[in-house]
Amino acid sequence: MFKGSIVAIVTPFKNGTVDEKKLSELIEFHIKNGTSGIVPCGTTGESATLSIEEHEKVIESTIVQVKKRVPVIAGTGSNSTAEAIVLTQHAAKAGADASLQVSPYYNRPTQRGLYQHFKAVADAVKIPLILYNIASRTGVNIEPETLARLAGDCKNIVAVKEASGNLEQMSKIKKLCGDAFDLISGDDSLTLPVLSVGGTGVISVVANIVPREVADLVAAFQRGDIAKAQEIHYRLLPLVKAMFIETNPIPVKTAMGLLGLCEPDLRLPMSEMMPDNLEKLKVALKEYGLLK
């Protein structure tokens, strides 16, 4: 169901508020360049510093602008189960095609707690849910067995965005959950390897600045042109590395500012890049041909 290059879109700010006009322009930029889906209010969208009202408005605005041309996968996870349910119900009512559910952060729930959390959200809505496994930021890994149990018990839990960096774990997920359950890369540097073990695509950060290239990589692999996919993969790698020289989304938003895609404004505690890292980012953009 969920495949291709899906962008974890930034939330553009201007003078401290969400820039809805720029958000609409970015969405058109992605659809024009072959992006297969839009994820508003994910980690890259600075969801942690959006108010509830802003969060809901960004999702609503995205749905209106997309006009069903590609799926909108609303980031509505929380470390509060009750809040995740409220946000997800709002997204479903607004017309989102699916929801991205990050595992509860800071709480460090057990596998039993994770199961009960995700099941409670799944039981509260009818739209498909994609679980988001990123232990480096949440403090807890969703084990393959827990995912398999959730996929079996909750028919609307249909995919996982895997950002564990562990290909062995991803292979186990694919084996336990079966072909009907989508394995989606959550790490731009591992998109090609994840595709090779049965993945269907990527929820991408770097696609914010090079959407066509990420879309082309996945499309090349899916049509069997492995050599082309490898070529794009290796060309993208230095740029991908530059997107994570500081905490996401600091580098990608800074890059978008340099490229004139949106203002580079971030919300504290996300801060502007250190000067040495900014120079490294500029070098990567220049070497890729994006910046003169």
- If 0-12 CB within 10 Å is exposed, 13-18 middle and 19+ buried, where does residue 286 land? exposed
Marked catalytic residue, from 3, 115, 132, 174: 132
Q: In which residue are the tokens 């003078």 written? A: 15
- 21 is an active site residue: no
Domains in the chain and their CATH numbers?
Answer: 4-223 (3.20.20.70)
- 288 is an active site residue: no
pTM over 0.85: yes
User: pLDDT tens digits, residue range 193-220?
Assistant: 999 999 999 999 999 999 999 999 999 9
User: pLDDT tens digits, residue range 117-136?
Assistant: 999 999 999 999 999 999 99
Marked catalytic residue, from 3, 22, 105, 161: 161
User: pLDDT tens digits, residue range 59-94?
Assistant: 999 999 999 999 999 999 999 999 999 999 999 999
Rounded-to-integer distance, Cα 222 and Cα 238, Å? 23
Q: In this model, does residue 1 exceed pLDDT 90?
A: no
Q: Which residues of 165-179 are buried (b: 16+ CB within 10 A; e: fewer)?
A: ebeebbbbbbebbee
